[in-house]
C-alpha cells in the first residue's frame, strides 16, 4: 500500500522538550513546517502533507501532541494548559535549532497554533489553520460555561469535563469503532447528543469506509489509542477553564502572524446561525482579531487534511511559498 511505503521513509524520534518526551515523525530538508493534529488523531493524520511538503523542499515535522501516541501523557488535567502545549512546541523548535517555523494546525492543533502565534509571534513565520478560528476570550464567562449556555450540558465539551466519564463511554466500543465514529463523522451541527445519551453512543458507526481513507489507515490510529488511551487527549478539554484563567493577560490581544484559515463547508458547526464558523468568519470580528488573514472555504468535513489530502497540501504550499519563493518545485 502506498501509505505504508511512505510511512517507512519517515524518521521517528523522541525529543525531550519542556520536561516531557515528545514523539515526532519527520521527513525532508529545508524550512521547518510544524504539523499539529487534533482530537482524536496522531502525527499520522498528516501522512499526506508530510510526504508532499518533503517533496517540495520543506522539513515536515509532525509530533504526537502531549498526551497522544508515543509522547508522554501526564495524568493531571492541569498539565494540559495552552502554556504547556505551546511550551512543548518551543522546545521542539529549539531542539531543531530553528528560530522560526511555519505552523499548520487542525482542531486542537489549530487552537495551539493560534496561541503559539499569540505568545511567541517571533517564532512563527506563517500559520495555516484548519477549521477552528481564533475566538476572543470572554472577559466575564469561563469557556465551559459559555459553551454550556450556547449548546447545553450534552455538548462534547461538557461531557468531556468529568474525569473518567468519556473514557468509560468510549470503552463500550473497540478502538477501531471509536476512530470511525470520530474521523468519519459527517455531523454538521455542534457536537452534542440528546439528553441522557453519551456522545459516543449518539455518533453513528459508518457502514462503509469512504474512498479517502482505508480500514488499514484507521487501524493505525486505533492500535495506538489502544496503547495510550484517551485520558491525555480528553485532558485538553478538562483544562479549558484553567486556560481561560491563564489567558487573562492577553485579553483583547490580536494575532499579528500572517495566517491562512481553511474550513470545510460541512465541518461541525460551520453553518449554524449566529454562532457558526461561517457567521463568525463573515462578521468581521475574526479579521479584526487576525488582521493579516486570508480565508479559504472548501468542500469537506472536519478532518479535511485527511479527507482532501492533496487539496490541503496545495493550499499549505501555496501559502508558505510566498515566504520563500526559491523552494524547489
The residues that are catalytic are 107, 237, 302
Q: What is the DSSP string of 130-187?
A: ES---PPPPSSS-HHHHHHHHH-TTBHHHHTTSTTHHHHHHTTS-HHHHHHHHHT---
Beta bridge partners of 223: none
Residue 5, C-alpha cell as written in the block: 511505503
Residue 291, C-alpha cell as written in the block: 488582521
Question: CA dist 190 to 56, 77, 269, 316, 318, Å?
Answer: 37, 24, 5, 27, 31
- Using CA atoms in the order 10, 16, 20, 21, what is the torsion angle rounded to 10 degrees? 30
Distance CA 162, CA 237 (A): 10
Distance CA 242, CA 287 (A): 26
Distance CA 65, CA 72 (A): 9
Three-class secondary structure of residue 217 per DSSP: helix
- The torsion angles phi and psi of 238, rounded to 5 degrees, stand at -75, -15
Query: Which residue reads 501559502 in cell numbers?
Result: 319
Residue 74, C-alpha cell as written in the block: 501526564
Q: Is the dihedral of CA 59, 41, 68, 240 positive or negative?
A: positive
Amino acid at each position: 500500500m502506498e501509505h505504508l511505503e511512505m510511512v517507512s521513509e519517515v524518521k521517528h524520534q523522541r525529543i525531550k522538550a519542556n520536561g516531557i518526551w515528545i514523539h515526532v515523525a519527520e521527513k525532508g530538508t529545508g524550512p521547518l513546517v510544524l504539523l499539529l493534529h487534533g482530537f482524536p488523531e496522531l502525527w499520522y493524520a498528516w501522512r499526506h502533507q508530510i510526504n508532499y511538503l518533503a517533496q517540495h523542499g520543506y522539513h515536515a515535522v509532525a509530533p504526537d501532541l502531549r498526551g497522544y501516541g508515543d509522547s508522554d501523557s501526564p495524568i493531571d488535567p492541569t498539565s494540559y494548559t495552552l502554556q504547556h502545549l505551546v511550551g512543548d512546541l518551543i522546545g521542539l523548535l529549539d531542539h531543531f535549532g530553528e528560530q522560526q517555523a511555519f505552523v499548520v494546525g487542525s482542531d486542537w492543533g489549530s487552537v495551539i497554533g493560534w496561541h503559539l502565534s499569540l505568545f511567541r509571534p517571533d517564532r512563527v513565520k506563517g500559520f495555516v489553520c484548519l477549521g477552528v478560528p481564533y475566538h476572543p476570550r470572554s472577559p466575564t464567562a469561563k469557556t465551559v460555561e459559555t459553551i454550556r449556555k450556547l449548546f447545553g450540558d450534552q455538548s462534547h465539551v461538557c461531557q468531556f469535563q468529568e474525569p473518567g466519564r468519556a473514557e468509560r463511554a468510549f470503552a463500550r466500543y473497540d478502538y477501531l469503532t471509536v476512530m470511525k465514529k470520530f474521523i468519519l463523522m459527517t455531523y454538521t451541527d455542534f457536537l452534542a447528543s440528546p439528553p441522557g445519551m453519551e456522545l459516543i453512543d449518539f455518533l453513528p458507526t459508518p457502514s462503509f469506509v469512504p474512498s479517502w481513507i482505508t480500514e488499514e489507515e484507521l487501524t493505525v490510529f486505533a492500535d495506538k489509542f489502544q496503547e495510550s488511551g484517551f485520558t491525555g487527549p480528553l485532558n485538553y478539554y478538562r483544562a479549558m477553564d484553567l486556560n481561560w484563567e491563564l489567558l487573562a493577560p492577553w485579553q483583547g490581544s490580536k494575532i499579528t502572524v500572517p495566517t491562512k484559515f481553511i474550513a470545510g463547508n460541512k465541518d461541525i458547526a460551520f453553518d449554524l446561525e449566529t454562532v457558526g464558523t461561517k457567521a463568525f468568519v463573515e462578521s468581521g470580528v475574526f479579521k479584526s482579531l487576525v488582521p493579516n488573514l486570508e480565508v479559504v472555504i472548501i468542500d469537506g468535513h472536519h478532518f479535511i487534511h485527511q479527507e482532501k489530502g492533496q487539496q490541503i497540501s496545495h493550499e499549505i504550499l501555496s501559502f508558505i511559498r510566498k515566504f520563500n519563493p526559491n523552494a524547489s518545485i
